[in-house]
Amino acid sequence: MSLIYTPKGRAREYSPRALNIYMACSHGCKYCYAPTFRRTTLEEYTQRPWPRKDIAKNLEKELSRGDVPKEQVLLSFIGDVYCDAMDSNQATRDCLEVLSAHKVPVAVLTKGGNRALKDVDVFKTFGEHIQVGTTLTFASVSDSREWEPNAALPRERCNMLKTLHDEGVKTFVSMEPTIDPRQTIGLIRHTLDYVDVYKIGKINNYNGIDKTIDWTTFLSEAVEILRDAGKQFYVKHDLREAAHSVRLYGNEVLPDEHNVR
């Protein structure tokens, strides 16, 4: 089985290809789907992760055989590549170096905050063929600690994005899950100066929270802000369905429109 694979279902909206370096994550986010997918408990899933065995070596072998993706590869859907890992994320750096050497376009999504900044030099070797982003859910420190207890706090994640943007690295944010629309709107406004692409979604099937939110009002306001700022953005399918009366244009609903190539 190839290390780089084609995601299915909702995951496919985020990237046409993906690579998972760690199969666990230290962040402990309450809404995380991965423990269920991995058939384990959140407590077990958040034990300090090891990378997959010989991941960079095996990735080099796979790419050297000539099957080099031309489509964006996301790091990652399972296990944050900058979580508090036993190898201090050396496997992430090693894999990035392999991907860069083979000219594979890459997107990195992390809640690791400043941990990602140690690899700025590697990011820059990709040129325009990389984008690095974070998930932003809350502006509130207390809410972030409740829902994402071991992830970097919102200020640190935003600092990561600003630093990368200043270094010339393309940045993006995943505004999903949206749990408190007011905080999400505030985060959009706060990050306009240093985020290049926004991906916006809703919370799904978690204690009925999604049934209490006026998604049409939320999406209408988010779209107005982003359009006025001239920002690129993508609205995920489930949010479009929940706010179907909000008029969106082609480049706002095509999942691969804002990928790197």
Q: Are 234 and 255 in contact (CB under 8 A)?
A: yes
Peptide bond preceding 76 in cis form (omega within 30 of 0)? yes
The mean pLDDT of 127-135, rounded to a whole number, is: 98
Tens digits of residue pLDDT in 45-79: 788 799 999 999 999 999 999 889 999 999 999 99
Q: Provide the pLDDT for residue 205.
A: 83
Question: Quick one: DSSP state of residue 74?
Answer: E
C-alpha–C-alpha distance, residues 241 and 55, integer Å = 38
C-alpha–C-alpha distance, residues 5 and 183, integer Å = 34
Q: How far is CA 148 from CA 55, 108, 135, in A?
A: 27, 19, 11
Q: How far is CA 133 from CA 53, 68, 75, 212, 257, in A?
A: 26, 23, 10, 28, 16
Partners of 134 in beta bridges: 173
Q: How far is CA 82 from CA 75, 128, 134, in A?
A: 10, 21, 11
Tens digits of residue pLDDT in 150-195: 999 999 999 999 999 999 999 999 999 999 999 999 999 999 999 9
**Host H or E run for residue 146:** helix 141-147
Helices (H) and strands (E) in the chain, counts: 10, 8
The pair of structure tokens assigned to 32 is 């995380």
Q: Give a yes or no: residue 258 inside a domain.
A: no
**Full domain range(s) for residue 39:** 4-252
Q: Give a yes or no: residue 184 inside a domain.
A: yes
% of residues, the chain, pLDDT over 90: 89
Q: Give a yes or no: residue 260 inside a domain.
A: no
Q: Provide the pLDDT for residue 45.
A: 76
Partners of 197 in beta bridges: 172, 232
Residue 253 pLDDT more than 80? Answer: yes
The mean pLDDT of 92-104, rounded to a whole number, is: 98
Tens digits of residue pLDDT in 194-210: 999 999 999 998 899 99
- Number of compact structural domains in the chain: 1
C-alpha–C-alpha distance, residues 90 and 92, integer Å = 5
Distance in angstroms between the alpha carbons of the first and the last residue of the chain: 24
Q: Give a yes or no: residue 8 inside a domain.
A: yes
Q: Give a yes or no: residue 237 inside a domain.
A: yes
Under the banding of pLDDT at 50, 70 and 90, the label for residue 32 is confident
Q: Give a yes or no: residue 45 inside a domain.
A: yes
Instruction: Give the other-Cβ count within 10 Å of 64's Cβ.
Output: 12
C-alpha–C-alpha distance, residues 213 and 202, integer Å = 9
Which CATH number characterizes residue 227's domain? 3.20.20.70
Q: Give a yes or no: residue 193 inside a domain.
A: yes
Tens digits of residue pLDDT in 217-251: 999 999 999 999 999 999 999 999 999 999 999 99
pTM given for the model:
0.96
Q: Give a yes or no: residue 170 inside a domain.
A: yes
